Structure 1
């Protein structure tokens, strides 16, 4: 694309989309506002209308990632059916997102835990855990899950699923297909939470 030929109408969205592609191709170090402007065929100053600097772009990418992840988890939680089925769907949704968007997820967690992360980023970053804890608390009220702090139980469940995704990305599951490993992990987690299977 030649400079000035960009006519999308939503440069901010296009910058984020291209930035995520570069993140996958080259990692965080490969991201620069000037290179994104060149890729999109706009002036090198155009991205500054939307992002004051590279860090603002990275933060916006993290916000976008958490927003998408939270939407997927919320869809699983709001589906009809027993809590155990919804927790299973939530677990599958998390592993699928973590494996499919690994560089983005890494950026999301790095940005969330940065000393200067925004309130919006922290809130979005905690929402997936809160969503899971709310579902576990519902199961506890209904007598289907073990006693205990729902937030702690949700944290341990997420840790197990995140670990599984990390092993899959490192090709460390040997001959076990990811889908099979995911179902087994979810089964173990639900049993540990006290659900009868």
Structure 2
């Protein structure tokens, strides 16, 4: 008897294969991070030939860059869901941080893929709407508009906040900090509290909001 696997190749409508390849890449990234995102494996998961995948992505680098972008978009969606629960600038800044840490701890493969070597570079203004860095910048802009963030501190505030939270995520993921639920909650509150106190004033400005 032949031991060959059955032919699982599928056909896709025009434009659908690219989306299927990205979805397969995201599923592999969720399992094992960016190292799992290989064109041959992605093509196999999507049920198409290796050559078919090359019609949409010139090489693994191109595929990984696109999967990385989609992973960041999933984190951005989590952030937006949380910040939409409050109009308070302090609460929105806290929500961005907790969404980031929770994503890192619960969807680690996607997190490592989102911020690996293939994550996008550029200024906040260059980022798409569904990018975490852009969302953080918008929340900080809102805090400045409300008089909670000194305009002199706004340049680079996103870098400072992001560095602190990303650093905490890395320490937790690498096992450098205790990871019981109580320990995680304590570390998150400490780091986010320091970011909040370091950037934001105690009282909001009264009067019209700057636009």
Contact 1:16/1:61 (<8 A) preserved: yes
- 2:104 aligned to which of 75, 93, 98: 98
Which residue of 1 is the match for residue 23 of structure 2?
A: 17
Which residue of 2 is the match for residue 76 of structure 1?
A: 82
Structure in which a larger fraction of residues adopt helix: 1
- 2:170 aligned to which of 162, 166, 169: 166
Which residue of 1 is the match for residue 137 of structure 2?
A: 133
CA distance in 1, matches of 2:138, 2:35: 37
CA distance in 1, matches of 2:18, 2:185: 35
Q: CA deviation at 1:156?
A: 0.4
Please, which runs of 5 or more residues in structure 2 have no aligned partner? 204-211
Which residue of 1 is the match for residue 208 of structure 2?
A: none
Contact 1:129/1:151 (<8 A) preserved: no
Written as runs of structure 1 = structure 2, the 5 A alignment for 1:133-152 is 133-152=137-156
1:111 is paired with a residue of what secondary structure? coil
Query: Bigger CA drift: 92-101 or 104-113?
Result: 104-113
Q: CA deviation at 1:152?
A: 0.9
Which residue of 1 is the match for residue 57 of structure 2?
A: 51
Cα deviation, 1:103-138, whole Å, max 9, x if unaligned, reads 434443311367xx9x9xx62499433332332232
Please, which runs of 5 or more residues in structure 1 have no aligned partner? none
CA distance in 2, matches of 1:27, 1:189: 29
Which residue of 1 is the match for residue 119 of structure 2?
A: 112
Pick closer, same or farther for the CA change 1:64–1:30 going to 2, 3 Å: closer
Q: TM-score, normalised by structure 2?
A: 0.73
Contact 1:84/1:195 (<8 A) preserved: no
Larger Rg: 2
1:196 is paired with a residue of what secondary structure? coil
RMSD: 3.2
Contact 1:2/1:41 (<8 A) preserved: no
1:178 paired with 2:184, answer: yes
Q: CA deviation at 1:165?
A: 0.4
Pick closer, same or farther for the CA change 1:80–1:51 going to 2, 3 Å: same
Cα deviation, 1:170-193, whole Å, max 9, x if unaligned, reads 112136522332122112211112
Query: Bigger CA drift: 36-45 or 57-66?
Result: 36-45
Q: TM-score, normalised by structure 1?
A: 0.77
